[in-house]
Amino acid sequence: MAGEKKNPRNGREESDGGFGGVADYLSAPKKKLKSYIVMSLASNVSEDHKADLLKYLSTLSKVFVLAQPKDPDELARQISRQVHLMILDDSFAPRDRLLKLVKFMKEKKGSESLPVLFLTREPKAMTTSYRDILVAHQENDDYMDLNGQNSVELVARIKQALEFRNRRRSRRFKVNLPVSFQVLGTDEWQKGTLLDLSLHGAMLSANEPKVAFDLKSQVRIQIPVGDVFVPAEGEIFRLSARVRRLSITAVGAGLSFEHVTERQVTLLTTFVTALASAQSLDRDLNNSTGLLD
């Protein structure tokens, strides 16, 4: 046909541009990724509760795809999907094993949000294990004590979790950490202070008033962590970030971490978990409570 030619390797027709189907694919609108609700239930949820819950979730089929892993291995395979919410019965697998699997999945997902709603009939044991394993992720997770709850209350709690899962990807902890930073495009390293820190971002304040951040500028940060990591990990933890919001004076910047490697996620989780544990202990000493206490 006119305007087309044969590929000598496979005999298929190509456009004059020589890219054939590849060009068509790249120029075509991208498919919207399916968003999943991942739910694994066990003995903690009655058959009547399960039926009512599945009935409610079926009304969302135009928005979400429901996945129901039957064992931990199948649950782990959900990591490749775009998960809007995970609903996990904490007796679906041995509790510590389940929480460690969730931690692994969150760390592998990196900057992507992976909110979890745990269902339990042993809230004390559940929250104790959670604080030991997943405390750094607590703003992104929640739990529901099923004792004395009816189907209406369960469905309402699931609905709330689906609606508010995007509040903040991870809890920010108040800190006062001296750091060094460099704004990309400049040669000079500056002194600053991290005022809060999470798995996904931080608030950075420049020590020198003359330093002004620009929105969306990129920043390199060096955080001293010698008191947290073993010597083999080094005394300085390096991260890249982008300025997402500014204080009114522009000497303070809300940062989101970027280009974070799997190893950096692990190290950052260790660091934030240490901060979270220390603050949790302070909270207990002051007889105050927080999420998953």
Domains, the chain, in order of start with CATH, read: 35-164 (3.40.50.2300), 173-285 (2.40.10.220)
Structure tokens at 109: 């997902």
Extended strands (E) in 154-235: 173-183, 190-197, 201-206, 218-224
Global confidence as pTM: 0.56
The pLDDT of residue 209 is 73
Tokens 């609903």 -> residue: 87
Low-confidence ranges of the chain (pLDDT < 50): 1-28, 30, 166, 281, 284-293
Distance CA 66, CA 60 (A): 9
The amino acid sitting at 219 is V
Q: In DSSP terms, which residues pair with 194 in a beta bridge?
A: 177, 204
pLDDT tens profile 229-259: 665 667 888 999 999 887 655 678 889 898 8
Total count of residues recorded for the chain: 293
Closest alpha carbon to 33 in 80, 93, 74? 80
The pLDDT of residue 262 is 79
Closest alpha carbon to 40 in 84, 91, 94, 79? 91
The pLDDT of residue 230 is 63
Structure tokens at 80: 């490749």
Structure tokens at 229: 């990591």
The pLDDT of residue 287 is 40
The pLDDT of residue 27 is 44
As to burial, measured by CB atoms within 10 angstroms (0-12 exposed, 13-18 middle, 19+ buried), residue 241 is buried
CB contact at 8 A, 235 and 223? no
Q: State the Rg of the chain over Cα.
A: 24
The pairing of strands 236-246 and 4-6 is unpaired
The pLDDT of residue 248 is 59
The pLDDT of residue 249 is 59
Q: Residue 82: in which H helix or E strand, if any?
A: strand 82-89
The pLDDT of residue 161 is 83
How many beta carbons lie within 10 A of that of residue 44, not counting itself?
18
Structure tokens at 170: 């991870």
Distance CA 66, CA 39 (A): 7
The pLDDT of residue 79 is 92
